[in-house]
Amino acid sequence: MPAASASPNTVKPLLISGEWITTADSTFESINPASGSANFLISAASESLVDQAVESAWQAVRQPAWRDMLPHKRASILRAIADGMERHADTLARLQMIENGKVWAECQAQVASAAATFRYYASVCETLNAEVTPSRGNYLSMTQYEPYGVVVAITPWNSPMTMEAQKVAPALAAGNAVILKPSEVTSSPALELGRIALEAGLPPGILNVVTGLGATVGKRLVEHPGVRMVSFTGGTASGRAIALAAAEKLMPVALELGGKSPHIVFADADLPKAVEGVIGGIFEGSGQSCVAGSRLYVQRSIAPQFIDMLVKRASQLKVDLPDAAGAQMGPIASFAHREKIERMVGTALADGGEVLLGGQRPTVDALQSGAFYLPTILGSLTRNAHVVREEIFGPVLCALPFDDEDDLIDQANDSAYGLASGIWTADYQRAWRVARRLEAGSVWINTYKQLSIATPFGGFKQSGIGREKGLSGLRLYQQTKGIYWGM
């Protein structure tokens, strides 16, 4: 594992039109949540730098070198970016680890996944077809897909590498210039991606990385008249604000927002496998996942047995420094977010809930300076409890019983969210019935958190608008044009 590459006083520059710009008079700190110490300083873009980024992106996207580049040539650059990510995999993984606290193995896996995303969209880029449409007269009609021009990608702190690849790769493949605005908590992986993209031959200005706070830099980018489309992954409240700003501009948006996903265990399930699935579904990444299975519904006849199995297994998870051997859970990504999780657990107790496991910080001396929180399982809750209805975004599982399919569906769909869900059962007909009735964009059956870049992903209800990944993930960044040839 490589050592840290910068001191706490180092100021990391942002990237505009191939130039690295340091704003020494306007910076913010990158904090390591495992230790509480500063990693380095990050340049914060001013309003004028945001304007410069948008202007440079338009200049670049209008140049023949990018505008007229053939799909297979564009694909070769995307593959070169993937190659660069693989060469610098340890650096990318370490930057993510020291900024958001994910364990080392997960950071490595996410860098590999991000590189694979660039390879996937390289293949899509040079093989995706347009259509000749059925004629209704003496003409030939066809579709053509055009880029928006300049799009903004705003990414979250929980999985920066995969989220940035999931937006940047298809947007570039579609022919756009992209302004990447990473979370202020995890800015460094995006900056490293910008460096790799330049080395791979991406024309300057086609990928600008603009760092800063969401309330200022993000807001300015969303409202900027030169931005034609925004793709955002993050909290539902921020998504609403972006949608409101987009409505003023009549600008399309893609929003992948929060979740409160139901994870369902029927009495006929393979219980040991279901236990492992539930554990991974909520405690991987310290529960900081939009698809975390945070609402557990267990059929009443097996609920006591299953909860006992679950508590025993979760108590064995190794919470440790993210680069410690065998670590399975690292810290929460920030101290402020840990405090929010603690307040939510306190609310659960006030609502009559019971802590079955965890509910506190670890007492190990080596972890006292970090933002650690133990795997937590809550019981004795009703569907109306605040923690059952609101996204916690942490390692906190709410366990509730259900009686039959109708009772289950009533409880599972009683949510403002609809991002993901999981079902454990040996009855394939039941699995199909329940999967069809669940209001969720993804349903896993006898597995959980299996994700494929080739499969469209997005949410129902307040969990978002639009679908990323797959072929639709590239079309998301294009406009459809009809062309008619008189015969």
Positions annotated as catalytic residues are 256
Strand duo 253-256 + 229-233: pairing: parallel
Q: Is 430 left (phi over 0), alpha (psi -120 to 50) or beta?
A: alpha
Residue 240's alpha-carbon distances to 132, 187, 231, 275, in angstroms, are 38, 23, 13, 35
> DSSP state, 138?
S
Which amino acid is residue 18, in one-letter code? G
38: three-class secondary structure by DSSP: strand
Tokens found for residue 211: 């760092």
398: three-class secondary structure by DSSP: strand
**Dihedral of the alpha carbons of 263, 264, 265, 270, in degrees to the nearest 10:** -60
Which amino acid is residue 334, in one-letter code? S
> DSSP state, 394?
S
**Dihedral of the alpha carbons of 121, 122, 123, 127, in degrees to the nearest 10:** 100
CA pair distance 24, 453, nearest whole angstrom? 39
CA pair distance 476, 474, nearest whole angstrom? 5
CA pair distance 50, 46, nearest whole angstrom? 6
Output b/e per residue, 412-429; b: 16+ Cβ within 10 A.
bbebebbbbbbbbbeeee
Report which secondary-structure segment, H or E, holds 136. none
CA pair distance 23, 43, nearest whole angstrom? 5
